[in-house]
Amino acid sequence: ATSLYSRKYLLAFLVKASAFQTTVPTNRAFSRTSNIMSETTKPTLPSEYVVPDVWTFDDPSSSNQPTAGARKEMKLKRGEHDLQLYSLATPNGMKINMLLEELNDLKGIEYDAYKIAFSDLDQFGSDFVAINPNSKIPAMLDTSMDPPLRLFESGSILKYVAEKYDAFIPTDPRDKVEVFNWLFWQVGGAPYIGGGFGHFYKFAPVHIEYAINKFSMETKRQLDVLDKHLEGKTFVVGEQYTIADIAIWPWIMCTIKFYGGKDFLGIDSYKNLMKWYNMIDERPATKRAFRITGFTPDAIAERHSKEDLM
Amino acid sequence: GSFTANKKLNKSSLIFRAGVQFSSTTDKEEAMLEKPEKPSFPPNYTPPKVWTFEEQEGLMGGMNRPTAGARFEKELQKGAHDIQLYSLGTPNGMKVTILLEELVDLIPDFEYDAWKIAIFDLDQFSSGFVDINPNSKIPAMLDTSMDPPLRVFESGNILRYLAEKYQNFLPSDPRKRTETFNWLFWNMASAPFLGGGFGHFYNYAPVNIKYAIDRYTMETKRQLDVLDKQLEGKVYLIGDEITIADFAIWPWMLCIEKFYKADEFLQLESYKNVKR
């Protein structure tokens, strides 16, 4: 049987690795046609596949497209509170739900939340695209500003909201930097857990060993980074619950509950991680967060006040 | 085609896995077991119940591990300036060196020390480096003007930290500042699909997998379109002033062209505002 990982690729990697210089390669540099490993000798899946010179795509019925922008006219609702959240309780959406519910517990902050239904392609509605041209949830408006201020990317929203209400970010300058170390770590790492591991292990229509191995390895590596960091700690930073914890937690939850990663990735072996995970799982705000624009039987599509969750 | 469905179920392996839940197989459970497996590549591959590590071949594959932490004892070098940068000229490394060199141009007497972390020599797994960045990635930084020195990791956070410390390339106007962070975070979460997704499967993987190439090419082109539309009528990402959002995004555009040689494949020219 043909091995995927033949030693002849070592030479190709060595030649390609030279592209990672500390200076930008010159024009002469590395050309695909001068590659020792020519394209036709790489195995392919499917076997008759040849990488085209120019990639094309023509399937208007696909919800995934290589283009951005609005696909339909659609007005979004707006409530009375400062913050208007347009979202879904996916892992990234959960981050914001958790923070806002914590602020509700801590300071009585209220906000409006509206569900963006992917099944209806609401993320490509004109109002939504004006808030987030990337057409992803979560997205937010701060209507206390005129005109309202748009926020997109869960990391940006966590930072903004925590700073606005002066909570869940440490005041100590060293701890604050450390929170942002881990917040940025999370947003850069999650794509490999979600778009990588979750996709190829659970959702892709074909089980591709190479991809599953690659992203399983990376996901476990991240879990180990976290587990080692949490040694002797209660929270990710300092002795307080911060947006670093809030950003990281939903993706661990997703890996365990939705991707079926608990056994496959041996998550119970990460003792510090599981202890931290279980602790946050118990917080009342976490439990409510699942329901807001969520998928559970007790989910609510809109949230306007604490009463909506009772 | 070559998508060979596993028509012959490895029934014994299914029963083994199902055995965790069921004590005996009833008719109903038997019916469940008869569900066809997904097609797989290679054709005889089935995901195991528990993933186990096998060292990959190849220069880059060979260094990857599912574990973190230091692999050998070695201290980092340190210079005299406040900012100590430990990095490499990859796209994420370039974000920070661009900002630092801009600061050198802008601020009299501003200097910094930069040290190369040769990732192919596994420098990122030295004890000294892991203390600064437990994730073992570049760029990573120390601000030695603080005592003890303050560690900063993740390119996005280093950009944020330096821009705030030196009061440049981050607007003070709250609206523009927020928008800068929207796009900075956008870059941090988008680049993994461009790099670890598209770049990997188009350029580096030892096998050309159509499914993966299509998936990540679609996403990369989508991102380019997002950018191109945002840049319509603007000089810089957020308007008339250059910010850390531009510094974050630019090196990845360079990477598409110079490292991945994918400008023709992605029709980079068609994104006029991005090219400009």
Cα distance from A1 to chain B (closest Cα, Å)?
Answer: 10
At A42, the pLDDT band (50, 70, 90 cuts) reads confident
Taking every pair of C-alpha atoms in chain B, what is the biggest distance, in angstroms?
80
If we measure between CA atoms, which residue out of B50, B3, B55, B41 comes closest to residue A1?
Answer: B41
Cα distance from B236 to chain A (closest Cα, Å)?
Answer: 16
What b-and-e string marks burial along A25-45, b requiring 16 or more CB atoms within 10 Å of the CB?
eeeeebebeeeebeeeebbbb
At A46, the pLDDT band (50, 70, 90 cuts) reads confident
Which candidate from B154, B161, B185 shows the least CB-CB separation from A153? B185
CA distance A118 to A241: 31
Asked if B182 and A264 come within 8 Å (Cβ–Cβ), the reply is: no
The model's pLDDT over A273-304, given as tens digits with 9 standing for 90+, comes to: 999 999 999 999 999 999 999 999 999 999 99
With beta carbons less than 8 A apart as the criterion, state whether A277 and A133 touch: no
User: In sequence order, which residues have a C-beta less than 8 Å from that of residue B123 and are 6 or more positions away?
Assistant: B116, B117, B129
Residue B54: the pLDDT is 87
Asked if A32 and B181 come within 8 Å (Cβ–Cβ), the reply is: no
Q: Which residues of A touch B204 (CB under 8 A)?
A: 13, 16
The helix (H) or strand (E) run that includes residue A115 is strand A112-115
The model's pLDDT over A157-173, given as tens digits with 9 standing for 90+, comes to: 999 999 999 999 999 99
At B43, the pLDDT band (50, 70, 90 cuts) reads confident
Residue A156: the pLDDT is 98
In the block, tokens 């910010």 appear at B243
Across A127-141, average pLDDT: 98
The model's pLDDT over A191-247, given as tens digits with 9 standing for 90+, comes to: 999 999 999 999 999 999 999 999 999 999 999 999 999 999 999 998 999 999 999
Residue A190: the pLDDT is 97
Q: Is the pLDDT of residue B17 over 80?
A: no
Q: Which of B20, B57, B92, B164 is the best residue to mutate to test the A interface, defined by the most A CB atoms within 10 Å of its own CB? A: B57
Q: Is the pLDDT of residue B174 over 60?
A: yes
CB contact A63 to B (< 8 Å)? no
Phi-psi group of B69: left, alpha or beta (phi > 0 → left; psi -120 to 50 → alpha; rest → beta): left
Q: Which residues of A touch B100 (CB under 8 A)?
A: none
CA distance A210 to A194: 16
CA distance B204 to A214: 13
Cα distance from B26 to chain A (closest Cα, Å)?
Answer: 24
**Bigger pLDDT: A182 or A33?**
A182
DSSP 8-class letter at A158: H
If we measure between CA atoms, which residue out of A197, A93, A170, A179 comes closest to residue B160?
Answer: A179
Q: Which residues of B touch A45 (CB under 8 A)?
A: 2, 41, 207-211
CB contact A310 to B (< 8 Å)? no
Across A62-85, average pLDDT: 97
Report the 10 Å Cβ neighbour count for A101: 24
CA distance A38 to A174: 50
Minimal-distance CA residue of chain B relative to A20? B90
At B28, the pLDDT band (50, 70, 90 cuts) reads low
Minimal-distance CA residue of chain B relative to A40? B208
- Both structure tokens of A276: 């931290």
Asked if B218 and A220 come within 8 Å (Cβ–Cβ), the reply is: no
Interface confidence, given as ipTM, is 0.88
Minimal-distance CA residue of chain B relative to A8? B58
Residue B19: the pLDDT is 31
DSSP 8-class letter at A19: T
Instruction: State the average pLDDT for chain A.
Output: 89
Q: Which residues of A touch B239 (CB under 8 A)?
A: none
With beta carbons less than 8 A apart as the criterion, state whether B139 and B155 touch: yes
Instruction: State the average pLDDT for chain B.
Output: 88
List, in sequence order, the alpha helices (H) in chain A.
8-17, 91-107, 126-131, 154-165, 173-191, 209-229, 243-257, 261-264, 271-281, 284-289
Q: Is the pLDDT of residue B47 over 80?
A: yes
Residue B22: the pLDDT is 32
Minimal-distance CA residue of chain B relative to A6? B57
Partner A, chain B 181-210, Cβ-Cβ below 8 Å: 181-182, 184-186, 188-193, 196-197, 200, 202-210
Q: Which of A45, A175, A201, A264 is the best residue to mutate to test the B interface, defined by the most B CB atoms within 10 Å of its own CB? A: A45
The model's pLDDT over B49-78, given as tens digits with 9 standing for 90+, comes to: 999 998 876 556 778 999 999 999 999 999
- The single-letter code of the amino acid at B141 is M
- List C-alpha distances in Å: B44 to A37, A209, B7, B38, B196: 26, 10, 10, 11, 26
Which candidate from A1, A13, A45 shows the least CB-CB separation from B41? A45
Q: Is the pLDDT of residue B117 over 80?
A: yes
**Bigger pLDDT: A278 or B1?**
A278
Residue B57: the pLDDT is 63
User: In sequence order, which residues have a C-beta less than 8 Å from that of residue B1 and are 6 or more positions away?
Assistant: A46, A48
Q: What percent of chain A has pLDDT over 70?
A: 87
Partner A, chain B 29-48, Cβ-Cβ below 8 Å: 37-42, 45-48
At A266, the pLDDT band (50, 70, 90 cuts) reads very high
At A134, the pLDDT band (50, 70, 90 cuts) reads very high
Minimal-distance CA residue of chain A relative to B176? A149
Using DSSP, state whether A81 is helix, strand or coil. Answer: coil
Asked if B150 and A155 come within 8 Å (Cβ–Cβ), the reply is: no
Measured between its terminal Cα atoms, the distance across chain A in Å is 60
Q: Which residues of A touch B155 (CB under 8 A)?
A: 184
Minimal-distance CA residue of chain A relative to B130? A225
Cα distance from A307 to chain B (closest Cα, Å)?
Answer: 31
Q: Which residues of A touch B117 (CB under 8 A)?
A: none
Query: How many pairs of residues across A and B have Cβ atoms under 8 Å apart?
Result: 286
Minimal-distance CA residue of chain B relative to A195? B193
Taking every pair of C-alpha atoms in chain A, what is the biggest distance, in angstroms?
67
Counting every residue written for chain B, the total comes to: 276
The model's pLDDT over B179-218, given as tens digits with 9 standing for 90+, comes to: 999 999 999 999 999 999 999 999 999 889 999 999 999 9
CB contact B13 to A (< 8 Å)? no
Which candidate from B38, B182, B197 shows the least CB-CB separation from A153? B182
Q: Which residues of A touch B226 (CB under 8 A)?
A: 68, 133-134
Asked if B157 and A22 come within 8 Å (Cβ–Cβ), the reply is: no
- The single-letter code of the amino acid at B22 is F
CB contact B19 to A (< 8 Å)? no
Residue B88: the pLDDT is 97
If we measure between CA atoms, which residue out of B174, B239, B241 comes closest to residue A145?
Answer: B174
